[in-house]
Amino acid sequence: MPDKNAVILGAGVSGLTCGVRLLEAGFGVKIKAHSLPPHTTSNVAPAYWYPYKVAPRDRVLGWAAFSYAKLTSLSLVPGSGISMSSLLKLFEEPVEEPFWKPAVKTFRKARPEELPPGYADGFVTEVPRIETPVYMRYLGERFIELGGEMEKLDSEASSIGEVLGDRRILINCAGLGAGKLCRDESMFPIRGQIVIVKNIGLERITSVDSGRHAPIYIVPRDGDCILGGTAEENDWDLSVNPETSKKIIEKCAAIEPALINAEVLGHRVGLRPGRTEVRLELEEIPGGRAVIHDYGHGGAGFTLSWGCAEEVLDLAEGFIS
Query: In a 3-state reduction of DSSP, which class is residue 173?
Result: coil
Rg for the chain, CA atoms, rounded: 20
**Would you state the pLDDT for residue 161?**
87
Report DSSP letters for 175-236, one per residue: TTHHHHHTT-TT-EEEEEEEEEE---S--SEEEE-SSTT--EEEEE-SS-EEEE---EET--
Instruction: Quote the percentage of the chain above a pLDDT of 70.
Output: 99
- Which residues of the chain form beta strands (DSSP E)? 5-9, 28-33, 82-91, 107-109, 121-130, 149-152, 169-172, 188-197, 205-208, 216-220, 225-228, 232-233, 264-274, 279-285, 289-295
pTM over 0.85: yes
Model confidence pLDDT, tens digit, residues 213-271: 999 999 999 889 999 999 999 999 999 999 999 999 999 999 999 999 999 999 999 99
Mean pLDDT calculated for residue range 162-190? 94
Model confidence pLDDT, tens digit, residues 207-217: 999 999 999 99
Cα angle for residues 113, 299, 91 (degrees, 5° grid)? 25
Cα–Cα distance measured from residue 77 to residue 82, given in angstroms and rounded to the nearest whole number: 8
Model confidence pLDDT, tens digit, residues 1-32: 457 999 999 999 999 999 999 999 999 999 99
Report DSSP letters for 195-207, one per residue: EEE---S--SEEE
Residue 13, φ and ψ in degrees, nearest 5: -65, -35
Query: Which residue(s) pair with 279 in the sheet?
Result: 295
Mean pLDDT calculated for residue range 34-54? 90
Query: In a 3-state reduction of DSSP, which class is residue 93?
Result: coil
- Cβ contacts of 133 within 8 Å, gap of 6 or more: 38, 43, 81
Q: How far is CA 228 from CA 119, 158, 193, 231, 251, in A?
A: 18, 33, 7, 9, 9
The beta-carbon contacts of 174-180 under 8 Å, at least 24 apart in sequence, are 174/9, 174/10, 174/295, 175/10, 175/12, 175/14, 175/41, 175/273, 175/295, 175/297, 176/271, 176/273, 177/9, 177/10, 177/34, 178/273, 178/279, 178/293, 178/295, 178/296, 180/156
**Would you state the pLDDT for residue 2?**
57
**Angle separating helix axes 301-320 and 57-74, nearest 10 degrees:** 100
Model confidence pLDDT, tens digit, residues 59-97: 999 999 999 999 999 999 999 999 999 999 999 999 999
**Would you state the pLDDT for residue 41?**
86
**Angle separating helix axes 13-24 and 132-145, nearest 10 degrees:** 30
Give the sign of the dihedral formed by CA 245, CA 251, CA 252, CA 256: positive
